[in-house]
Structure 1
Amino acid sequence: MKDAVPDAGKDDAVPDAPFDALPANLVDPPWLRKQAAPKATAGDRTGDTVVPGLEPPGDRRIVWEPEEREQWAAMRPYGGPWADGDWEREAEKVRDGSMYLPSQAGFLASAPEDLARPLLAAWEPPPVTWDFDHSLKPIVARFEEAAWDVSVRMARANPFGTGPVLLPFLGADVARLMADWLYRLKSAQKLARTWFARHGLGAVPYLVPDALGKRVGPRRNAVHALRLIEGGAIEGGVAGAARVHGEEAAKAVAALLADAPAQAGPAHERPKPPDLPRWLDTEALPRPVLRDGRRLPPGAARTLVHLWAMALRPDAFPGAHEAAEETAALCDPASLTAFAWALFEAWRGAGTPGRSAFVLPALGRFGDDETVRRLTPLIKEWPGQSGHDRAAAGLDALAAIGTDLALLHLDGIARSGRYKGLQRQAQAKLRQVAARKGLSDEQLADRLVPSFGLDATGTMTLDHGPRRFTVGFDELLRPYVIGEDGKRRKTLPKPGPDGDPSAHLRFTALKKDVRTVASLQIARLETAMVEGRTWTPAEFTAFFVRHPLMWHIARRLVWTSGGTAFRLAEDRTPADVRDDAFEVRADVRIAHPLLLGDALPAWAEVLADYEIVQPFPQLARPVFTLADGEGRDGRLARFEGLRVPYGKILGLTRTGWERGAALDGGVQRWISRRAGARHVVVELDPGIVAGYVDLHPEQRLEHVWIAPAPREYDPALPVGNGFAAVDPVLLSEILADLENLT
């Protein structure tokens, strides 16, 4: 990345700023000052801010993340398999404790519910110090609140290894437990923080009675947890959530948080600031420049990086974030972008060593669209270089940059990432962004398509020194350039001696960005057609008809509204199959050929007459249906027993199928695709070995069935009406995928 401002580390003509022009925390870092002894915390002054008689809510709730319950239910339990005649005999082994403890859990997760539920109610396994969350998760997914007490008891015995099973639990005992772990246990800090980040203000009512009570330990823990929640919520959010206990409690909590100390930790001692790594030589980087043109003096840039590192732990280093932001406000933004990228490149040059967690957050805070273009390819490569954690931090950086282009690239990784773990993390990150904006994932994706500064006609004008050029795009989103002479060119001429090179650089970046947009949006719209997504007439107009880029894709498709198919004519007005004007009044969806029926040949003729090339197979898409009576038993027997090369199985992931959980030996025994509220599951034999996908070149399709959740085939599992409830369009696509295997 080229520096947008003079490189202060290389140009001695750039003067240094005097110390009195800099923030105090940059000139005199807090960690070098002699500190006064910390005062007692509000939680230690047991007589202050007490509101007697408060009780936490008595309810218990299991709060699932999207698809979390299904994932837990699909986890392979220990023990078994048990045959039909074994259940009662094996249940006696659970009752008398003679069965191996993990197998007891596996039995409860698998046995018929009328037998398992009373067993669970009486189950009192001894607390164990080994990790037991894997055994408990399928039980929690199956029985939810009925598994509460045993889960809490087992988690107390091993917070680090078994505690993760409590993440969806929201109740007074779990909130108090998490507050204790947050304050007291270093090994459970991450887990507790994850729990409070997940439940947020929902946890507040359960903590308030302790925070305003007289008992020192619970009070201290609750205050510490409330401060953590307040830091991640809107200002005053905790006090507002405390109002369920009355106005007096809400005011007391607000006063208590305002009075709570900045320090954190059992002894309220100020932690030692993190050491900066040896590879970091800030004087070799382009020092940031103040807005008045003067650069930071020697040493100040290193102090700034130190503040960035400390700001990652605001509970331990209060004020570091504010001090860093105070400095950033005085600096030229472009110089901070250049400094952050140079810092990143120095880190890469050193081999991306650990203990450098401040590097990617700095890119997230100060990066721009050029940062996004350079960083995204690296994020995609890192998981294959044993760098999944780096890639995950890179996703955080893209989300923090937050421009339309950054979110667009994040969306691209979420939709078509090569590494499924990273893809799921990108999806979760986008869900967080969408939730903040009050949108669904797909509604956010509609709004992420940038216009790149194009006007309503889909063109822009570039000043090329003494000449001016108009840039536009054809129906395939290929750029073209028209000069003042009216001639159409494929690319922008290189600038002459008196030309402005910035126009050429802008055109090059525009081509690259539009190419990325085109591939992402075409794939997104094909998925929308398959899944039957709809847009309101207003959304359709805003995101397709009037959008300077998306309209080029939209006009090459056939749409439906209120049962009538239409296309967008050259003047962007809707037209039916007879080319008569059509008014869009109902919700709009992309027409699958199954929905066009007898009109399909006529629409194919219309597009052929206008020489319209579709962005993906739509009208020529093959259509499949079930034979009469097929699938009523929940199985597709015609595909069972087939032997298929493993590569074809892996290829299904390109159309929305997901490989199953890695079981014993890392073997993935099934691949599945969501079908409404259910999943179509293909059970594989011998299965795909994660990390060694070519170990078994051929896979047998053992069972093809529909199930409530992805898992191994179970003939006893009810399937209702089988495939009858699956949307015909989606079913056609699933059958097409299975036909392609053969």
Structure 2
Amino acid sequence: MAPFSQELEPPRNPVRFTNDAAGLCAAYLAYKASDLSRQIVPHSYCLLLLPEDMAQAVWPTLAAYDDFFDYFFMAKVGLKGLQGLLAAVERRTESGIAIAQHFGWSVLAPAIAQAYVKIKTVRANARNWLLKFPEHAITGLLPAALGKAGSARDTAVTVLRLLVAQGHTELIRQVAARYEQKAVNLAVQAMLDADPLDGYPAKISKAPGFWLPHLWPRPLLLDGTPLPNSALEHLGSMLRFPMTEGVYPGIEQVKAACQRESLAEFAWHVFQQWDYYAGVPAKESWAFTALGLLGTDETVRQLVPLIRTWPTEGLLARAQTGLDVLVRIGSNYALLQLNGIAQKVKSKPLQLAAQQKMQELADNAGLTADELAERITPDLGLDAAGGLMLDFGPRQFHIGFNELLKPVVYDSDGKRLADLPKPNGSDNEYRASEAQRQFKALKRDVKALADQTLKRLERAMCQQRRWEREIFESTLVQHPLLQHVVRRLVWAYSAGEHMQTFRVAEDLSYTDASDNTISLPATAVIVLAHPFNLVPAIVASLSQLFADYQLIQPFAQLSREVFRASNADAAVTEALNKAVPTNALRGLESRGWEKGNNFSGEIGSYRTQLSADCHAELHFEPPYSLAVADKTLRHQLDHLTLENKGQPVAAAQLDAIVLSELLRDLYHLNN
């Protein structure tokens, strides 16, 4: 190797800068059209090496074709690069709008508004820009909003209505006043005063061939009168309107005038025609999203099995649209099913999409995901005491629930039955049939709810989630279904220097470990008691009390193993010192662990969330294959990585209860 002091020879063919911007653009476009563009990717720094005037001259052309220049170049030249940024927004909308978040320029408004209205994948970023720079948006869109009819005006008016809804009405008037023309001010005021029912598109698409509403069960008015053909045609037109910024008000008028069940049945027929007979044409996807506008809980029951199945048939995008439909229906039952998909579904991308939607709903409500899940738990038609009476006519049956929230049937004498009996000759045929239908629906609905609820409460105990008294009582104690679980658990609140434990009695009063009635302070902050924080005498007393009342707990609480480690890191190392079969590792999934990253279908780790900010990942060797089941294979537990807010932490830094739960999971792995 030559010494560092040796001079390097100059290149035989030195590059000469001719400042030929047009020539460079032509050469770049030729490169993009060649095979080289698939083999060689220019480095983003290259644009910065050009003379500044030349770089600015070529930037709009290059920005329209590649995104690798954006961040570096715009960070350096700032406002001098706006023309190139406009080209990026118009030609490479997603990456262009991402960069545009840092620049307020009215010329960008029409392109960003169009993206907001027409491109679902960038709608959130486009909306952020419009709300971040409302004055620039209004300035750029007002001419189109007051111009000739067409898609440009529809787009501009849609965005201005968005800004009105966000409190920018006065700003619109101020921008209009800059024209210093009375006609402009009057036109803007007319636009602001316009009847929302007049806010339909200038061009209304024609009904597709599968639109045959006169052949389907018609929506019924509240008095039972079927909608006439003319009204059905208008309903079809409204369903085809875009829903960029809310639902067309006419839809709400139809829902107010018609029986909801009949509208939902009609919408399901529209969906079936699109899905089964028309070949799901993408441009007619309104026939699918109409379920969100007109659907009910019965629609949800029909749709959710399809959403769960579609990804296995290569229809992930349709399943993800189905999640939007559930959000649009918005009932507690619809959101419960959405949360169920977020908790468990075969398709990981669908699960992540559902989790994101639940998190967005929670963020909008100012809640955590678990707090939202609690508030959307439907009451399933139960009475205040948490029961349901099913009437067969001469016979009645009472429905209660066990510790796992499974329905339990009692006859009129209070005797527990194995199941709801079949009707006999003395029963009222209609009432008995309706009762059986109701019981079948109840079992189906509560099955989806029970698993979510029990896992959420066990997680709340392990992570020491807190409830203010008012929230605790309104969402748990007084909830017709959840009270059946609440009464089987031990709760606690801070009382001076110690924790006061209590349980919820049958009459929803509160009693202590000695079964004496107590009153909760108005300021009490309540937790699900973890045995780690309870003295043995209290655990023994409460265990006896629960045994006396024959109360079975829904998950291990009083009987839960507790691990106290003087040396946390050593305790974890000891727990890892074993080899376990594949089934034992898979058993972690029932404890809330998830498979780690897998390559070519091989699993080499499991991951779990220990607390709001802390995660653990268990690594083992060798990995196991998802495709081949080897019951003889054993895996050596290799190591455990712990992260808090993305930063590595040691076991000794974990909360004592979190560490106890982690050691419990590790020791429960079968040898």
Shared fold per TM-score greater than 0.5: yes
Q: Give 1:372's aligned amino acid.
A: V
Cα distance, 1:256 vs. partner? 3.8
Deviations 1:525-563 (A, max 9, x none): 112112221111222222233222212111111112111
Q: 1:327 to 1:629 in 2, by over 3 A?
A: closer
Contact kept, 8 Å, 2:397 with 2:412, in 1: the verdict is yes
Q: Give 1:341's aligned amino acid.
A: W
Matches within 5 A, 1:549-568: 549-562=481-494, 563-568=499-504
Give yes or no for the alignment of 1:620 onto 2:559.
yes
CA distance in 1, matches of 2:592, 2:250: 46
Seq. identity, % = 29
CA distance in 1, matches of 2:142, 2:514: 73
Q: 1:573 to 1:324 in 2, by over 3 A?
A: closer
Q: 1:192 to 1:221 in 2, by over 3 A?
A: farther
Contact kept, 8 Å, 1:684 with 1:699, in 2: the verdict is yes
Give yes or no for the alignment of 1:336 onto 2:263.
yes
CA distance in 2, matches of 1:613, 1:147: 69
- Name the residue aligned to 1:524: 456
CA distance in 2, matches of 1:609, 1:128: 75
- Name the residue aligned to 1:727: 655
- Name the residue aligned to 1:505: 437
CA distance in 1, matches of 2:91, 2:561: 50
Cα distance, 1:339 vs. partner? 1.1
Q: Please identify, of 603-612 and 472-481, the stretch whose mean Cα deviation from structure 2 is larger.
A: 472-481
Cα distance, 1:336 vs. partner? 1.5
Q: 2:131 aligns with which of 192, 198, 201?
A: 201
Q: 1:392 to 1:238 in 2, by over 3 A?
A: farther
Q: 1:159 to 1:629 in 2, by over 3 A?
A: same
Q: 1:327 to 1:440 in 2, by over 3 A?
A: same
Give yes or no for the alignment of 1:593 onto 2:593.
no
CA distance in 1, matches of 2:660, 2:186: 57
Matches within 5 A, 1:121-520: 164=94, 171=101, 173=103, 179-182=109-112, 189-198=119-128, 201-208=131-138, 210=140, 227-232=157-162, 235=165, 237-239=167-169, 256=188, 259=191, 273=205, 276=208, 278-298=209-229, 301=232, 304-312=235-243, 321-350=248-277, 353-355=280-282, 356-465=284-393, 468-480=396-408, 489=417, 490-491=419-420, 494=423, 496=427, 499-500=430-431, 501-520=433-452
Deviations 1:16-72 (A, max 9, x none): xxxxxxxxxxxxxxxxxxxxxxxxxxxxxxxxxxxxxxxxxxxxxxxxxxxxxxxxx
- Secondary structure at the aligned position of 1:360 is classed as helix
Cα distance, 1:195 vs. partner? 1.1
Cα distance, 1:162 vs. partner? 6.8
Once superposed, what is the RMSD of the aligned Cα atoms? 5.2
Contact kept, 8 Å, 2:115 with 2:123, in 1: the verdict is no
CA distance in 1, matches of 2:583, 2:415: 48
Contact kept, 8 Å, 1:646 with 1:698, in 2: the verdict is yes
CA distance in 1, matches of 2:190, 2:622: 61
Q: 2:516 aligns with which of 572, 580, 585?
A: 580
CA distance in 2, matches of 1:595, 1:150: 63
Q: 1:707 to 1:524 in 2, by over 3 A?
A: closer
Q: 1:645 to 1:199 in 2, by over 3 A?
A: farther
Q: Give 1:618's aligned amino acid.
A: Q
How many pairs are equivalent? Answer: 594
Q: Give 1:308's aligned amino acid.
A: L
Cα distance, 1:343 vs. partner? 2.6
- Secondary structure at the aligned position of 2:437 is classed as helix
- Secondary structure at the aligned position of 1:630 is classed as helix
Deviations 1:324-347 (A, max 9, x none): 555555444332222112233344
Q: Give 1:567's aligned amino acid.
A: R
Cα distance, 1:285 vs. partner? 1.8
Q: Give 2:560's aligned amino acid.
A: R
Q: 1:611 aligns with which of 533, 547, 550?
A: 550
- Secondary structure at the aligned position of 1:237 is classed as coil
- Name the residue aligned to 1:79: none
CA distance in 1, matches of 2:598, 2:175: 46
Give yes or no for the alignment of 1:545 onto 2:458.
no
Contact kept, 8 Å, 1:593 with 1:619, in 2: the verdict is yes
CA distance in 2, matches of 1:273, 1:104: 46
Contact kept, 8 Å, 1:364 with 1:400, in 2: the verdict is yes
Q: Which has the higher contact order (CA 8 A, sep 6+)?
A: 1
CA distance in 2, matches of 1:669, 1:488: 48
Q: Give 2:167's aligned amino acid.
A: G
Q: 1:571 aligns with which of 503, 507, 525?
A: 507
CA distance in 2, matches of 1:560, 1:626: 24
- Name the residue aligned to 1:21: none
CA distance in 2, matches of 1:246, 1:699: 71
Cα distance, 1:615 vs. partner? 0.4
Cα distance, 1:476 vs. partner? 4.8
CA distance in 2, matches of 1:146, 1:551: 61
Q: Give 1:591's aligned amino acid.
A: A
CA distance in 1, matches of 2:637, 2:482: 40
CA distance in 2, matches of 1:345, 1:223: 34
CA distance in 1, matches of 2:95, 2:619: 28
Cα distance, 1:518 vs. partner? 2.5
Q: Give 1:371's aligned amino acid.
A: T
Contact kept, 8 Å, 1:600 with 1:619, in 2: the verdict is yes
- Secondary structure at the aligned position of 1:567 is classed as strand
Contact kept, 8 Å, 1:312 with 1:358, in 2: the verdict is no
- Secondary structure at the aligned position of 2:501 is classed as strand
In structure 1, runs of 5+ residues without a counterpart are: 1-99, 107-122, 140-144, 263-267, 711-717
In the superposition, the TM-score normalised over structure 1's length comes to 0.65
Contact kept, 8 Å, 1:152 with 1:174, in 2: the verdict is no
Cα distance, 1:158 vs. partner? 5.6
Cα distance, 1:656 vs. partner? 4.2
CA distance in 2, matches of 1:147, 1:619: 65
Q: Give 2:475's aligned amino acid.
A: F
- Name the residue aligned to 1:88: none
